[in-house]
Amino acid sequence: MQMTRRDFLKKAGFWTFGLGLIYPVYAFVAKKRFRPPIEVRLRRKLKPGEFLLEPQFAFFETDQGPLAVSRSCTHLGCIINYQEADREFLCPCHQSRFTWDGKYLSGPAEKDLPKLHVKVLEGEEGYIVQIPRGIF
């Protein structure tokens, strides 16, 4: 049996249409896309012992250098509060507790807070804190 031109075009159209629908789904699920981190610039240098609370992270200047810790609880993602008197983070949702440098103390979270990458600006005053996408 010989295939007619019309049959060939129908089959070619079917496969082209089918792959046109399937490939975007495959690309979305299977392929990794590079998404650069969000960069937050802090325009002043802190002295050792000082800290700064931002909406997404807490920034501490220590004797060993700068440290940025995510303020998103590792349990369910609530924004945690810093208790300056106790030098601890406390989650308002389920009372998970963390040390000032992000180490887990108690509560349902059971994981440390993510530490964020900090770049020290040499010629200028300040820092750049890099927040990976998907952390919030």
Question: Whole-structure pTM over 0.85, yes or no?
Answer: no
Strand positions, DSSP E, 24-135: 38-42, 51-53, 57-62, 65-70, 81-83, 88-90, 97-99, 104-106, 115-120, 127-131
Whether the per-residue pLDDT at 69 is higher than 90: the answer is: yes
Instruction: Convert the pLDDT of each residue in 70-82 to its tens digit.
Output: 999 988 889 999 9
- pLDDT(90) > 90: yes
In the predicted model, is pLDDT for residue 103 greater than 70? yes
Q: How high is the pLDDT of residue 105?
A: 92
Per residue in 5-53, pLDDT (tens digit) is 887 777 777 777 766 777 777 777 777 777 788 898 988 888 888 888 8
Is the pLDDT assigned to residue 1 strictly greater than 70?
Answer: no
Q: Please report which confidence band the pLDDT of residue 96 belongs to, taking 50, 70 and 90 as the band edges.
A: very high
| Six-digit token string for 25 | 């789904």
Number of Cβ within 10 Å of residue 102's Cβ equals 22
Mean pLDDT of the chain: 85
% helix / strand / coil in the chain, to the nearest 5?
20, 35, 50
